[in-house]
């Protein structure tokens, strides 16, 4: 077709092509930008919109389609004390369970905020259209979950996260103040002297760059469990937001704590929800024994995840596990066969469907092969209880920057999260931050800044160079090395030698990453470039995990070190803060906020 | 780390001691006998001390090392590199019908992939991307059939790549993968969803309540029974993967037809007792390009990976509209 066009016109087209595709960068102004479209990000955007009576312009940026964020994969439910009288429950008990589960590293003032607001959020989501499971009286049903003393997890079958996401997305479509950017990848945050000025992003579909100028930014990009190869998370859980914050000089907290979910399907790592055990499933070893009675006599399969994961790994190591011939992975059995088929179909339909489709196994008639997989990262961007991103240990907060959800470390989960507390965290802090950001913007209008625009252009050039560069390293090979190192040395059990080795290897991988080669040179849907950016984030974060983990000489929650099997409250009852230094990283510590619950031995 | 420190000292002493000895011999000629002797003595002492420390550290750590070695290799914590031979794997051909966005043309590319009984079409494609051809564009995310990213046409049928087992689909060791043609093509297997999202948005999805303050400031849960929920639950499983739109013969010949996905969502909210939009929601799709555009081919329900049954939902909507019409005529 292009041949039929007049010659001068063709030149003009080529020029136009260059202008659009190569040398251009749009500038857009927004009152608020929310990065990440999971439950945390969408809730924040919605509450900012409602608080401002739909007067703000809000950008919601997602690197995938907004309704497909990893929150859709949340299965089990959302915790909250809905019926204190009927369930013999109280907010105090919920807080105690959470703090004990966190191995006393959770900030107790934050936990109190969580338990106080969680029930309200369950009702809020119902009014957006989430079909919570009901009992015969029409009350919202609550199920048992690991580490919770009573039934307090509301659920919608085993697709809770999916229903919440769909309800939120449908709700957002009717709010015209929110502009959703599907498949846009933020590549850098522009922060000057602790003040947010804007960000640079790429439209993955077209490859065009945009500089977004704004005075308020909420990071809600989720965790980074994809640094492990055996993980329950989506391919999108790569911790981009956390890496962006780190690169912008903002501090990260407790990054060494990675939660391993005890029951992920072998060999794919697909999550089998804790609700399966909440509904009564057993964990069985090769000798046919319910081995959890050795490890947590009172709670059995419903002990917190760190304890169950360690139990499974110990059983496999002691030779009482099974082994998958194809993948070489050791596993134990999750047995649902004694459960009523009708109960499985009503409350656990998705895991039944997945096991059938992926493995050809029906959990109603056969036990499922499971082993612990990376599931959640307790650590994240250091925020205070209001969701503001802090500037360091013991200093004030950054201006115009918030973090919500898994990417933030408030911290309510301490060193080990209890199942179903994450959905409550996302929705509770989504509301808190959404309201705060709307109020902030009402009083602070963002001005134009030359520095910000220059920095955005610098970033644009960096992306250009990444694309046109002639490096020699294959990013995918580096990624495999990263995952192998993490799985080998920073899994459920860690040892000093292994962690030191991991740190060495990871810093080598990180320096090799500077010389990567991107084969796809086209700008349209350049998934190769997107992968490289994601792998860059993960390479950075993997090293930070090793740095912090190596220093913590105790076993607390998800961080279990062979040489130091005990919790050491005298020296280590403190949060790790890691921040970018002039050369390498800078590590400091800050105290844990303790209000009502003094640390006690953690026995279940 | 500690073991390697010991080794460095060992090598250092192997190299260092002869050099110092040599220096001492030479220095006698220049009358620096005393200085060089002291130097040598100090250096040797230092080497011995460091050597002992290093050795002790290795000894202490032997326990942990021994613990690691004692663990059976297969059971070890990291994922083991799989033995490639004779473990139930097969070489298969994946024929990818790629859309070349620069030349606006389709072309076939054949990739050879090693597959086992757990390989899905998506995991095979990702394997190709990371090992053979990183330029192959694929949209994916959760790999467990809930995010709705990886819709494509596999062996002629619109399916989710992550839920399609390779061995189940294999005829003559070959699988054909094409992008969905019911959506505009972007690149390779990736299609543009803007139009699809627009359709979804056009029916104003979301629970409607007259009282906004009651809606956003929910104090009490709705009074709903299990039966009330079961009425709309099957239609709320939609993951917006776009496969139904790809399969629908009507929308592919008349793009004005709103399509099965959006209409099924109209029914999802209409059937919800808590929704207060009532008949207004129905009347918005009471058009020739709305519910009446559907010719009940049923392809949408056949390809839906989540069992939503959009075709059924559209017929139910038609029924509801007829009832409403009858009511109006009576009144």
H/E element holding B268? Answer: helix B260-270
Pairwise CA distance, residues A266 & A141, whole Å: 31
Angle at A487 between CA A484 and CA A493, to 5 degrees: 150
**Same-domain status, B36 and B61:** yes
Least confident of B38-42, B67-71, B104-108, B112-116: B67-71
Say whether pLDDT at A8 is over 80.
no
Cα–Cα distance for residue pair A335/A290, rounded to 1 Å: 10
Within the 14-73 window of chain B, which residues sit less than 8 Å (CB to CB) from chain A? 61, 64-65, 67-68, 71-72
Residue A20 DSSP one-character state = I
How far is B4 from chain A, CA to nearest CA, in Å?
Answer: 11
E-assigned strand segments in chain B: 90-100, 105-115, 151-154, 157-160, 174-178, 185-187, 190-191
Burial of B280 (0-12, 13-18, 19+ CB in 10 A): exposed
Say which of A72, A138, A358 has its CB closest to residue B225.
A138
Q: To the nearest whole angstrom, how far is the Cα of B217 from the nearest Cα of chain A? A: 7
The average pLDDT across A260-267 equals 96
Distance from CA of B315 to the nearest CA of A (A): 23
Q: What is the pLDDT of residues A90-131, one digit of tens each?
A: 999 999 999 999 999 999 999 999 999 999 999 999 999 999
Instruction: With a cut of 50, say whether residue A19 has pLDDT above it.
Output: no
Claim to verify: residue B15 and residue B144 sit in the same structural domain: no
Query: Which DSSP helix (H) or strand (E) runs through A350?
Result: helix A349-359
Q: How far is B290 from chain A (nearest CA, A)?
A: 19
Count of residues making up chain B? 331
Q: In chain B, how many domains are there?
A: 3
Q: What is the CA radius of gyration of chain A?
A: 24
CA distance B237 to chain A (A): 8
Asked whether the beta carbons of A172 and A60 are under 8 A apart, the reply is: yes
Rounded mean pLDDT, A310-321 = 96
- The residue in chain A having the minimum alpha-carbon distance to the alpha carbon of residue B193 is A65
* Residue B140 touches chain A, beta carbons under 8 Å: yes
Cα radius of gyration rounded to whole Å, chain B: 35
Is B295 found in the same domain as B263? yes
Predicted pLDDT at B79: 35
B142 touching A (Cβ < 8 Å): yes
Measured from the Cβ of residue B303, the count of other Cβ atoms closer than 10 Å reads 22
| Mean pLDDT (whole number) for A231-239 | 97
Contact A317 B192 (CB under 8 A): no
Please report the residues numbered 353 through 412 in chain A whose beta carbons come closer than 8 angstroms to any beta carbon of chain B: 353-354, 357-359
Question: With 70 as the cut, is the pLDDT of residue B9 above it?
Answer: no
Instruction: Give, for A390, the enclosing helix (H) or strand (E).
Output: strand A388-390
**Chain B touched by A563 (CB under 8 Å):** yes
Q: Which of A265, A49, A345, A326 is nearest to A173 (CA)?
A: A49
| CB pair distance less than 8 Å for A124 and B216 | yes
Q: How large is the average pLDDT for residues B220-224?
A: 91
Query: Do residues A284 and A581 touch, judged by C-beta distance below 8 A?
Result: no
**Interface touch B141/A524, C-beta < 8 Å:** no
B211's CB contacts (< 8 A; 6+ apart) are none
**What CA–CA distance (Å, rounded) separates A167 from A406?**
20
CA distance A251 to A261: 26
> How many CB atoms sit inside 10 A of residue A519's CB?
12
Check CB contact of B130 with chain A, cutoff 8 Å.
Answer: yes
Query: Mutation test of the interface with chain A: which of B70, B206, B235, B264, choosing the one with the most A Cβ atoms within 10 A?
Result: B206
Q: Which domain holds residue B291?
A: 193-212+224-330
Report residue A250 as tokens: 């903002």
Q: How far apart are CA B255 and CA A115, in angstroms?
A: 49
Higher-confidence residue: B35 or A196? Answer: A196
Mean pLDDT computed over every residue of chain A: 94
Distance from C-alpha of A546 to C-alpha of B277, rounded to nearest angstrom: 54
- Please report, rounded to a whole number, the percentage of residues in chain B having pLDDT higher than 70: 83
Chain B hits for A134, CB-CB cut-off 8 Å, are 224-226, 229
Residues of B in contact with A229 (CB under 8 A): 79
CA distance A522 to chain B (A): 9
Last-in-domain residue among B75, B100, B129 = B75
Check if B74 contacts A (Cβ < 8 Å). yes
Q: Are the beta carbons of A126 and B221 separated by less than 8 Å?
A: yes
Contacts for A571 with CB less than 8 Å, ≥ 6 apart = A553, A554
Shared domain for B108 and B234, answered yes or no, is no
Distance CA(A238)–CA(A533), nearest Å, equals 10
Does the beta-carbon distance from A163 to B238 stay under 8 Å?
A: no
For the segment B269-296, the average pLDDT, to the nearest whole number, is 95
Nearest CB partner across the interface for A134, out of B192, B224, B237: B224
Both B35 and B132 in one domain: the answer is no
Query: Looking at the complex, does the CB of residue A449 fall below 8 Å from at least one CB of chain B?
Result: no
Structural contact between residues A541 and A508, judged by C-beta atoms closer than 8 angstroms: no
**Measuring CA to CA, which residue among B211, B205, B203 is closest to residue B236?**
B205
Please classify residue A444 by burial: count the beta carbons closer than 10 Å to its beta carbon, then call 0-12 exposed, 13-18 middle and 19+ buried.
middle
What pLDDT sits at residue A583?
84
Number of H helices, E strands in chain B: 13, 7
Burial class, B84, CB count within 10 angstroms (exposed 0-12 / middle 13-18 / buried 19+): exposed
Mean pLDDT, chain B, rounded, equals 86
Q: Give the B window 176-235 contacts with A, CB below 8 Å.
A: 186-188, 190, 192-194, 197, 200-201, 204-207, 209, 214-216, 218-226, 229, 232-233
What is the CATH T-level fold of the domain A452-574, as seen in this structure? Methane Monooxygenase Hydroxylase; Chain G, domain 1 (1.20.58)
Residues B95 and B110 in one domain: yes
The answer to whether B260 and A158 have CB atoms below 8 angstroms apart is no
Confirm if A241 and A380 have CB atoms less than 8 A apart: no
Same-domain check for residues B40 and B122: no
CB A146, CB A409: distance < 8 Å? no
**B2: pLDDT strictly greater than 90:** no
Q: Say whether both B113 and B232 belong to one domain.
A: no
With beta carbons less than 8 A apart as the criterion, state whether A567 and A103 touch: yes
Instruction: Indicate the Cα dihedral angle B237, B239, B240, B241, nearest 10°.
Output: -130
**DSSP state letter for A78:** E
- The candidate with the shortest Cα–Cα distance to B245, out of B267, B261, B257, is B261
Looking at residue B74, what is its pLDDT? 38
pLDDT at B162 exceeding the cut of 70: yes
Residue B234 inside a domain? The answer is yes
Q: Is A421 exposed, middle or buried (0-12, 13-18, 19+ CB in 10 A)?
A: buried
Nearest to B151 by CA among B246, B20, B52, B283: B246
pLDDT for B35 beyond 90: no
| CATH number of the CATH domain containing B98 | 3.10.20.30
Residues A321 and A330: beta-carbon distance below 8 Å = yes
Q: What value does the mean pLDDT take over residues A314-328? A: 93
Residue of A nearest to B166 (CA): A358
pLDDT for B86 equals 45
Q: Residues B326, B202: one domain?
A: yes
Residues pairing with A578 in the sheet = A252, A587
Rounded to the nearest angstrom, the minimum Cα separation between A487 and chain B is: 5
Q: Which one of A82, A357, A522 has the shortest CB-CB distance to B163?
A: A357
Q: What is the pLDDT of residues A53-72, one digit of tens each?
A: 989 999 999 999 999 999 99
Cβ within 8 Å of residue A72, ≥6 positions away: A161, A162, A165, B142, B146, B147, B239
Q: For residue B61, name the pLDDT band (cuts at 50, 70, 90).
A: low
- Which residue does chain A place closest to B73, by CA atoms? A328
| Across A188-192, A403-407, A525-529, B53-57, least confident range | B53-57
Q: How buried is residue A526: exposed, middle or buried, by Cβ count under 10 Å (0-12/13-18/19+)?
A: buried
Cβ–Cβ gap B222/A270 under 8 Å: no
Active site residues per annotation of A = 261, 277
Q: Tell me the domain boundaries of chain A.
A: 265-371, 452-574
Check whether B25 has a pLDDT greater than 50.
yes
Q: Which residues of B touch A359 (CB under 8 A)?
A: 118
Helix (H, G, I), strand (E, B) or coil at B187: strand
> First and final CA of chain B: distance in angstroms?
88
Residue among B313, B312, B266 nearest B285 (CA): B266
Q: Give the one of A72, A329, A497 whose C-beta lies nearest to B64's C-beta.
A: A497
User: Pick from B75, B103, B125: which residue ends a domain?
Assistant: B75
Residue with the larger pLDDT of the pair B226 and B81: B226
CATH architecture of A265-371: Alpha-Beta Complex (3.90)
| Stretch A406-429: mean pLDDT | 97
| Number of neighbouring beta carbons within 10 Å of residue A110 | 24
Residue A448 has a pLDDT of 79
CA distance A597 to A110: 13
**Residue A495 near chain B (CB below 8 Å):** yes
Nearest chain B residue to A268 by CA: give it: B118
Burial of B219 per CB tally in 10 Å (0-12, 13-18, 19+): exposed
What dihedral angle (degrees, nearest 10) is formed by the CA atoms of A480, A269, B94, B131?
0
Q: Which of B82, B142, B186 sits opposite A205 (nearest CB)?
A: B186
CA distance B80 to A488: 9
Mean pLDDT across the stretch A153-168? 97
Angle of CA points B316, B319, B324, to nearest 5°: 130
Asked whether residue B141 carries a pLDDT value surpassing 90, the answer given is yes
Could you tell me if residue B246 is inside a domain? yes
Percent of chain A residues topping a pLDDT of 90:
92
Same domain, B24 and B104: no
CB A6 within 8 A of CB A25: no
- Nearest chain A residue (CA) to B62: A497
For A524, name the nearest residue in chain B, comparing CA atoms only. B187
Whether residue B148 and residue A67 make contact (CB cut-off 8 A), yes or no, is yes
> How many beta-carbon contacts under 8 Å exist across A and B?
227
pLDDT computed for residue B4 by the predictor? 53
Q: Are strands B151-154 and B105-115 parallel, antiparallel or unpaired?
A: unpaired
Residue B72: pLDDT above 80?
Answer: no
The burial of B302, by beta-carbon neighbours within 10 Å (0-12 exposed, 13-18 middle, 19 or more buried), is given as: middle
Does the beta-carbon distance from B138 to A527 stay under 8 Å? yes
Q: Alpha-carbon distance A595 to A566, whole Å?
A: 23
| Beta carbons within 10 angstroms of residue B52's beta carbon | 12
Give the H or E element holding residue A202: strand A195-203
Q: Are A561 and A495 in contact (CB under 8 A)?
A: yes
* Residue of chain B nearest A502, judged by CA positions: B1
What pLDDT band is residue A589 in, cutting at 50, 70 and 90? very high
In this predicted structure, what is the pLDDT of residue B69? 39
Out of B71, B190, B272, name the one closest to residue A525 (CB).
Answer: B190
pLDDT, residue B78, reads 36
Closest Cβ opposite residue A127 in set B72, B187, B218: B218
Residue of chain A whose alpha carbon sits nearest to that of B75? A330
Cis peptide upstream of residue A267 (ω within 30 degrees of 0): yes
Pairwise CB contact (< 8 Å): B77 & A487: yes
Contact B82 A531 (CB under 8 A): no
Shortest CB distance from A170 goes to which of B89, B188, B205?
B205
Q: Model ipTM?
A: 0.93
Quick check: B105 contacting A, CB < 8 Å?
no
**B56 and B101 fall within a common domain:** no
Answer whether B80 touches A (CB < 8 Å). yes
Predicted pLDDT at B57: 65
B218 contacts A126 by C-beta, under 8 angstroms? yes
* DSSP state at residue B325: H
pLDDT exceeds cutoff 70 at B28: no
**Do both B294 and B203 map to the same domain?**
yes
CA B9 – CA B5 distance, rounded (Å): 6
- Rounded-to-integer distance, Cα A260 and Cα A372, Å: 5
For the stretch B75-93, pLDDT in tens is 443 333 333 334 688 899 9
Residue B129 to residue A539: CA distance in whole angstroms: 19
Q: What letter would DSSP give residue B234?
A: G
Contact of B85 with chain A, judged by CB distance below 8 Å, is answered with no
- φ, ψ for residue A458 (rounded to 5)? -60, -45
Q: Do A171 and B80 make contact, defined as CB atoms within 8 angstroms?
A: no
**pLDDT top residue among B43 and B268:** B268
Q: Which chain A residues in 506-545 lie under 8 Å from chain B, judged by CB atoms?
A: 518-520, 522, 524-528, 531
Give the per-residue pLDDT at A26. Answer: 93
């Amino acid at each position: 077709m292009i041949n039929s066009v007049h010659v001068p016109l063709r030149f003009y087209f080529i020029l136009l092509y260059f202008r659009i595709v190569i040398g251009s960068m749009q500038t857009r102004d927004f009152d608020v930008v929310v990065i990440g479209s999971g439950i945390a990000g969408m809730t924040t955007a919605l509450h900012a919109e409602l608080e401002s009576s739909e007067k703000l312009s809000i950008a919601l940026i997602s690197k995938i389609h907004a309704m497909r964020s990893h929150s859709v994969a949340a299965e089990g439910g959302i915790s909250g004390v809905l019926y204190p009288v009927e369930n013999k429950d109280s907010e105090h008990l919920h807080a105690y369970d959470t703090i004990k589960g966190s191995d006393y590293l959770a900030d107790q003032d934050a936990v109190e905020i969580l338990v106080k607001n969680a029930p309200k959020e369950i009702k809020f989501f119902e009014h957006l259209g989430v079909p919570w499971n009901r009992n015969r009286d029409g009350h919202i049903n609550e199920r048992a979950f690991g580490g919770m003393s009573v039934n307090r997890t509301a659920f919608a079958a085993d697709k809770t996260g999916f229903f919440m996401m769909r309800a939120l997305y449908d709700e957002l479509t009717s709010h015209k103040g929110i502009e959703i950017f599907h498949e846009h990848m933020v590549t850098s945050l522009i922060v000057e002297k602790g003040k947010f000025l804007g960000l640079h992003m790429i439209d993955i579909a077209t490859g065009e760059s945009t500089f977004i100028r704004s005075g308020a930014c909420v990071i809600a990009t989720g965790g980074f469990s994809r640094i492990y190869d055996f993980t329950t998370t989506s391919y999108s859980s790569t911790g981009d937001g956390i890496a962006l914050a780190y690169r912008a000089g903002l501090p990260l907290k407790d990054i060494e704590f990675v939660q391993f979910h005890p029951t992920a399907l072998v060999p794919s790592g697909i999550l089998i929800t804790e609700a399966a055990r909440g509904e009564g499933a057993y964990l069985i070893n090769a000798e046919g024994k319910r081995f959890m009675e050795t490890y947590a006599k009172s709670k059995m399969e419903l002990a917190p995840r760190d304890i169950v994961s360690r139990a499974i790994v110990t059983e496999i190591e002691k030779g009482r596990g099974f082994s998958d011939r194809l993948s070489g992975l050791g596993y134990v059995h999750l047995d649902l066969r004694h459960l009523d088929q009708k109960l499985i179909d009503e409350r656990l339909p998705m895991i039944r469907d997945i096991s059938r489709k992926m493995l050809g196994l029906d959990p109603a008639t056969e036990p499922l092969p499971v082993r612990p997989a990376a599931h959640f990262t307790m650590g994240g961007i250091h925020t205070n209880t209001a969701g503001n991103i802090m500037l360091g240990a013991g200093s004030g907060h950054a201006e115009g920057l918030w973090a919500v959800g898994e990417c933030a470390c408030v911290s309510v989960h301490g060193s080990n999260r209890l199942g179903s507390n994450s959905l409550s965290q996302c929705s509770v802090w989504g509301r808190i931050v959404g309201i705060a950001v709307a109020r902030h913007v009402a009083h602070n209008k963002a001005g134009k800044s030359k520095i910000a625009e220059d920095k955005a252009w610098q970033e644009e050039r960096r992306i250009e160079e990444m694309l046109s560069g002639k490096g020699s390293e294959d990013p995918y090979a580096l990624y495999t090395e990263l995952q192998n190192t993490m799985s080998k040395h920073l899994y459920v059990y860690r040892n000093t030698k292994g962690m030191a080795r991991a740190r060495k290897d990871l810093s080598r991988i990180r320096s090799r990453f500077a010389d990567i080669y991107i084969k796809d040179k086209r700008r349209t849907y350049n998934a190769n470039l997107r992968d490289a950016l994601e792998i860059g984030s993960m390479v950075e974060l993997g090293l930070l995990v090793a740095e912090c983990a190596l220093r913590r000489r105790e076993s607390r929650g998800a961080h279990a070190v062979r040489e130091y099997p005990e919790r050491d409250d005298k020296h280590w009852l403190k949060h790790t803060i890691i921040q970018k230094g002039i050369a390498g990283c800078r590590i400091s510590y800050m105290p844990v906020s303790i209000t009502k619950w003094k640390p006690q031995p953690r026995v279940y | 780390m500690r073991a390697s420190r010991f080794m460095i000292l060992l090598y250092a002493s192997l190299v260092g001691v002869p050099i110092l000895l040599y220096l001492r011999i030479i220095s006698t000629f220049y009358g620096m006998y005393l200085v060089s002797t002291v130097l040598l003595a100090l250096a040797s002492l230092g080497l011995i001390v460091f050597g002992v420390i290093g050795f002790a550290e290795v000894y202490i750590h032997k326990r942990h090392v021994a613990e690691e070695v004692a663990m059976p290799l297969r059971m070890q914590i990291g994922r083991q590199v799989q033995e490639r031979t004779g473990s139930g794997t097969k070489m298969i051909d994946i024929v990818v019908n790629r859309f070349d966005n620069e030349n606006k043309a389709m072309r076939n590319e054949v990739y050879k992939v090693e597959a086992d009984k757990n390989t899905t079409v998506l995991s095979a494609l990702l394997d190709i991307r990371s090992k053979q051809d990183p330029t192959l564009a694929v949209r994916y995310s959760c790999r467990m059939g809930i995010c709705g990213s990886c819709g494509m046409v596999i062996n002629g049928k619109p399916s989710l790549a992550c839920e399609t087992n390779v061995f189940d689909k294999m005829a003559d060791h070959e699988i054909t993968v094409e992008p969905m043609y019911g959506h505009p093509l972007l690149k390779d297997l990736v299609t543009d969803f803007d139009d699809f999202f627009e359709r979804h948005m056009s029916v104003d999805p979301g629970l409607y309540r007259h009282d906004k303050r009651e809606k956003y400031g929910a104090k009490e849960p709705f009074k709903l029974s299990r039966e009330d929920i079961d009425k709309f639950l099957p239609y709320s499983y939609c993951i917006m993967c776009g496969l139904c739109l790809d399969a629908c013969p009507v929308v592919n010949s008349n793009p004005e037809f709103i399509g099965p996905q959006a209409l099924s969502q109209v029914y999802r909210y209409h059937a919800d007792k808590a929704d207060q939009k009532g008949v207004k929601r129905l009347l918005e799709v009471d058009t020739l390009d709305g519910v009446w555009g559907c010719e009940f081919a049923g392809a949408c329900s056949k390809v839906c990976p989540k069992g939503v049954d959009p075709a059924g939902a559209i017929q139910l909507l038609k029924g509801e509209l007829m009832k409403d019409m009858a009511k109006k005529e009576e009144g």
